Amino acid sequence: MDLSVNLAKWNALSKHLQEMITAATRQHSWDQYAYIQKENVAAWDKFKAQGVQIIRLTEADIQKFRRYAIPMWFQWAKQDPLAREAFASQLAYMKTFNVGYITDSMLVDIDGKTKLTL
């Protein structure tokens, strides 16, 4: 969701009103997130009831995908300044402790020898 406000108009609001809008926006965001998570859980049960087989990738398969995907991410990011900026932000997010999908040791070429950089 998005709440866009002209900065001059925002600055013209009282501090109290700014805080109320910020709180309401955060609450809406949380409510939306919780609702989506609840519906996702219900959807899995519906898939199972329909006979859909849910499979998960093995760790070995994930490693194979990473081997090729990570160098490709860098290749595409280098083609455009905006893509580079977006990828750098996403990569930083994926490397954070709470997400932990990517580590510095994974940022190598397909042969695992050359360190990848932007």
**What's the structural domain count of the chain?**
2
Task: Report the alpha-carbon distance of residue 48 to residue 98 in Å, rounded.
Answer: 30
Clarify whether residues 65 and 40 are in a common domain: no
**In this predicted model, what pLDDT tens digit does every residue of 5-54 receive, in sequence order?**
999 999 999 999 999 999 999 999 999 999 999 999 999 989 999 999 98
**Domain containing residue 84:** 59-106
pLDDT at 78: 96
Clarify whether residues 64 and 98 are in a common domain: yes
Torsion of CA 11, 15, 19, 21, to 10 degrees: -50
Whether the Cβ atoms of residue 32 and residue 1 lie closer than 8 Å to each other:
yes
pLDDT at 1: 66
Residue 111: half-sphere exposure toward Cβ, Cα within 13 Å: 2
